[in-house]
Amino acid sequence: MNKINNAILAATILTIASCTSPTENKEATATAPATTETAPPAEPAPVMPDSATAAKNWMDAMTPGKMHEMLAARVGLWTADMTMWMAEGAPPSTTKGEAQYKMIMGGRYLQTTYKATMDNMLFEGMSLSAWDNATQKLTETWIDNMGTGIMIVEGTYNEATKASETKGTCIDPALRVEKEVREVTTMTDATHMTMEMYETIKGGKERKTMEIKYTKK
């Protein structure tokens, strides 16, 4: 632990030093183009904490806590019953799959791998879930073999409802337009969990496009 504290302290001092480098300031002044326009008032520079406070802040940011325990409750192998609504008013399609959840990097992140069969094709997906102690927000990423992009959503967790809600945007691969996505994941109990996805295409209304009911094996 002392080695970690010393490493963080050293990194913090270097960070503070680089942020206040007089050489950088002189170079910036020397190369700045002359202008006659009135510049907007500069925002005040952040007040740098002393090295001990900065080291403690960093330690607090990197230490898993209660929200990481919430993510860890999902660890294990789950069966997945997926229902998808491809279009408004169209009958849903269903399929079954499997999801493996595990904590990585010392309990700091939740990694999920998902497999299912869709239209006789193997569907594979992977996500990372992170509770950031510094921002107090939940961030999740998603990739799968039916695309080449990364979806990123951000939100928070409601202790009372045992549900996380995240929001973001992505490109609809068929329509080639940006859409808003909203995901709600609810831990019903220790062995049951539900994920619901809602989408909104610009100019339209939000509609539910997917629901996955998980049961832990």
Dihedral angle computed from the Cα positions of residues 155, 157, 162 and 164, in that order, rounded to the nearest 10 degrees = 10
Say whether both 84 and 126 belong to one domain.
yes
Dihedral angle computed from the Cα positions of residues 16, 17, 22 and 28, in that order, rounded to the nearest 10 degrees = -60
Which among 47, 63, 79 is the end of a domain? 63
Say whether both 107 and 52 belong to one domain.
no
* Res. 21: pLDDT tops 50: no
What radius of gyration, in Å, describes the C-alpha atoms of the chain? 23
> Measured between alpha carbons, how far is 121 from 110 in angstroms, rounded to an integer?
26
Q: What confidence category does residue 26 fall into, taking pLDDT thresholds of 50, 70 and 90?
A: very low
Say whether both 32 and 97 belong to one domain.
no
Say whether both 49 and 83 belong to one domain.
no
Which among 63, 91, 113 is the end of a domain? 63
Say whether both 49 and 121 belong to one domain.
no
Question: What CATH number does residue 80 fall under?
Answer: 2.40.128.20
Paired residues of 180 in beta bridges: 169, 200
Q: Quote the percentage of the chain above a pLDDT of 90.
A: 70
> Measured between alpha carbons, how far is 15 from 1 in angstroms, rounded to an integer?
21
Q: What confidence category does residue 34 fall into, taking pLDDT thresholds of 50, 70 and 90?
A: low
Which among 14, 33, 63 is the end of a domain? 63
* Residue 46 to residues 41, 49, 61, 190, 193, Cα–Cα distance (Å): 15, 9, 19, 44, 42
Q: How many domains does the chain have?
A: 2
- Average of pLDDT values for 117-142? 95
Q: Which domain holds residue 44?
A: 2-63
What is the predicted pLDDT for the residue at 9?
45
Say whether both 71 and 164 belong to one domain.
yes
Instruction: Map the chain to HEC letters.
Output: CHHHHHHHHHHHHHHHHHHCCHHHHHHHHHHCCCCCCCCCCCCCCCCCCCHHHHHHHHHHHHCCCHHHHHHHCCCEEEEEEEEECCCCCCCCEEEEEEEEEEEECCCCEEEEEEEEEECCEEEEEEEEEEEECCCCEEEEEEEECCCCCCEEEEEEEECCCCEEEEEEEEECCCCCCEEEEEEEEEEEECCEEEEEEEEEECCCCCEEEEEEEEEEC
Say whether both 16 and 102 belong to one domain.
no
Q: What confidence category does residue 13 fall into, taking pLDDT thresholds of 50, 70 and 90?
A: very low
Say whether both 165 and 181 belong to one domain.
yes
> Measured between alpha carbons, how far is 15 from 23 in angstroms, rounded to an integer?
15
Say whether both 103 and 36 belong to one domain.
no
pLDDT in tens, 35-85: 566 777 888 888 888 889 999 999 999 999 999 999 999 999 999 999 999
Say whether both 27 and 86 belong to one domain.
no
Q: What confidence category does residue 5 fall into, taking pLDDT thresholds of 50, 70 and 90?
A: low
Say whether both 100 and 176 belong to one domain.
yes
Determine whether 131 is exposed, middle or buried from the number of CB atoms within 10 Å of its CB (0-12, 13-18, 19+): buried
Say whether both 105 and 194 belong to one domain.
yes
